[in-house]
């Protein structure tokens, strides 16, 4: 195989490869490059296609740049550090993809059939084992009449590219993207208004937790207009308007019909429990998989990575114990929030018997010492100190606490077992122990 890393930054065309490869991957975001790395280490010959920067949305214009903003003291510092952080991490991904078993082709690819993809520089390449679609997602825009003519409107990528801090920022959508940017830009000094159609922010989060988090952000100075539908951008008084109404699977140009794949009504690629592409109730092909945002299952970078690893294991006939029903998620507001497993609202709706135990940051010694007393944790379990079902929380380092719960759930732990586990004092992790003892 030819390693196209030697062509990075050159103007001369890449060679026409043709031929075959064990595994073809379309997209070099977190799902794609992590899958390529894992497959290569298992001895598979991998060809991966990426027409944009490696690392995908997450590294270049998503998770990583946003978190750089979260941890910056000012807008100026964020603008200075973000490109440095992104460049360093992107170089790391380039290094991963320089593995001798991996060929990186910096072009778009499309299907010829369920075994073959093609691109301008390489012609047709046959997958001897499988093809994985990992093309991620893109901004979902509201169909407003003036959406294309209002220069104030940006998506998250556009907001990260602003050179000047907006005096007034309006955010349409109170999901993860909207809430994180609201928290960050308010702290930087912008006058922030969040407009949301639903009655509460962060619908995937426990409603009690979401409401308390919103109230905390309101105290910081963010204005929320809940249960409000945007009819026209002309009605919004702001210097910049962020469209944060979700993400849409990216499938344009893949020629999926050639592989026997039909999109679901929401635009995602339907897959089975092993992420094989399906058509209706039948597998479209055993040889084509879709991982990450493009399948619409769990639109999280870490979900894409683990889905890719599972697919490679399926290809190689290796069993694994990855629990896709236990998927932690985080919101990096200030304070941050996180969850794993169902919320209390979901448990009630499903009629699942449960017990709810609560613990508060204000009762924790470390939180008091840090002056971080805003926070609530809700731990759900089967009755009588049984199996841990889930946990939702907001407060300083809530993400780290939820990660511990995720590990416990993967191990099938009970609340009774949690009570017997020693936690360092003083730490915020003792909040979880307090909930177990409640």
Query: Which residues form the catalytic set?
Result: 425
329-331: strand order across its sheet: 329-331, 337-340, 388-395, 375-381, 355-360
How far lies 284's CA from each of 86, 121, 335, in Å? 38, 28, 45
Token pair of 215 as six digits: 């109230």
* Maximum Cα interatomic distance, the chain, rounded to a whole number of Å: 68
Q: Name beta bridge partners: 339.
A: 329, 392
Q: Which residue matches tokens 């870490």?
A: 302
Token pair of 437 as six digits: 């003892």
Backbone φ, ψ for residue 258 (5° rounding): -65, -25
52: left (phi over 0), alpha (psi -120 to 50) or beta: beta
Contact 132, 23 (CB under 8 A): yes
Backbone φ, ψ for residue 217 (5° rounding): -70, -30
Q: Which residues lie below 8 Å from residue 355, measured CB to CB, with a gap of 6+?
A: 380, 381, 382, 383, 384, 385, 415
CA dihedral sign, ordered 157, 163, 165, 166: negative
Distance between CA 134 and CA 290 in Å, rounded? 6
How far lies 261's CA from each of 90, 274, 288, 294, 296, in Å? 32, 16, 9, 13, 15
């Amino acid at each position: 195989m030819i390693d196209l890393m030697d062509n990075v930054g050159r103007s001369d065309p890449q060679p026409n490869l043709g031929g075959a490869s064990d595994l073809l991957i379309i997209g070099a975001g977190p799902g794609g490059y992590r899958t390529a790395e894992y497959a290569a280490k298992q001895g598979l010959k991998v060809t991966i296609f990426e027409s944009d920067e490696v690392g995908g949305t997450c590294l270049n214009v998503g998770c990583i740049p946003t978190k750089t903003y979260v941890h910056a003291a000012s807008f100026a510092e964020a603008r200075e550090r973000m490109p440095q952080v992104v460049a360093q991490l992107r170089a790391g991904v380039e290094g991963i993809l320089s593995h001798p078993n991996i060929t990186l082709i910096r072009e778009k690819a499309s299907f010829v059939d369920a075994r073959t993809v093609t691109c301008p520089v390489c012609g047709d390449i046959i997958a001897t084992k499988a093809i994985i679609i990992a093309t991620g997602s893109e901004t979902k825009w509201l169909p407003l009449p003036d959406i294309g003519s209002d220069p104030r409107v940006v998506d998250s990528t556009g907001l990260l590219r602003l050179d000047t801090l907006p005096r007034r920022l309006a955010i349409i959508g109170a999901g993860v993207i909207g809430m994180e940017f609201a928290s960050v830009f308010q702290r930087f000094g912008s006058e922030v208004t969040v407009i949301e159609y639903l009655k509460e922010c962060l619908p995937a989060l426990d409603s009690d937790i979401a409401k308390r988090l919103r109230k905390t952000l309101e105290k910081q100075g963010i204005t929320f207009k809940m249960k409000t539908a945007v009819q026209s951008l002309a009605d919004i008084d702001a210097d910049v308007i962020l469209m944060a109404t979700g993400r849409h699977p990216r499938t344009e140009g893949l020629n999926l019909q050639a592989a026997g794949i039909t999109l679901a009504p929401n635009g995602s690629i339907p897959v089975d429990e092993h992420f094989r592409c399906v058509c209706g109730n039948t597998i479209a092909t055993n040889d084509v998989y879709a991982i990450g945002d493009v399948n619409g299952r769990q639109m999280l970078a870490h979900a894409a990575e683990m889905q890719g690893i599972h697919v490679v294991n399926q290809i190689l006939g290796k069993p694994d114990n990855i629990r896709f029903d236990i998927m932690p998620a985080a919101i990096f507001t200030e304070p941050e929030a996180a969850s794993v497993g169902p919320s209390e609202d979901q448990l009630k709706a499903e009629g699942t018997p449960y017990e709810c135990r609560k613990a508060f940051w204000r009762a924790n010694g470390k939180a008091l010492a840090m002056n971080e007393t805003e926070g609530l944790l809700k731990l759900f379990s089967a009755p009588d100190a049984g199996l841990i079902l889930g946990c939702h929380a907001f407060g300083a380092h809530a993400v780290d606490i939820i990660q511990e719960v995720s590990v416990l759930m993967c191990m099938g732990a009970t609340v009774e077992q949690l009570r017997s586990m020693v936690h360092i004092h003083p730490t915020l992790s003792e909040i979880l122990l307090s909930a177990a003892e409640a």
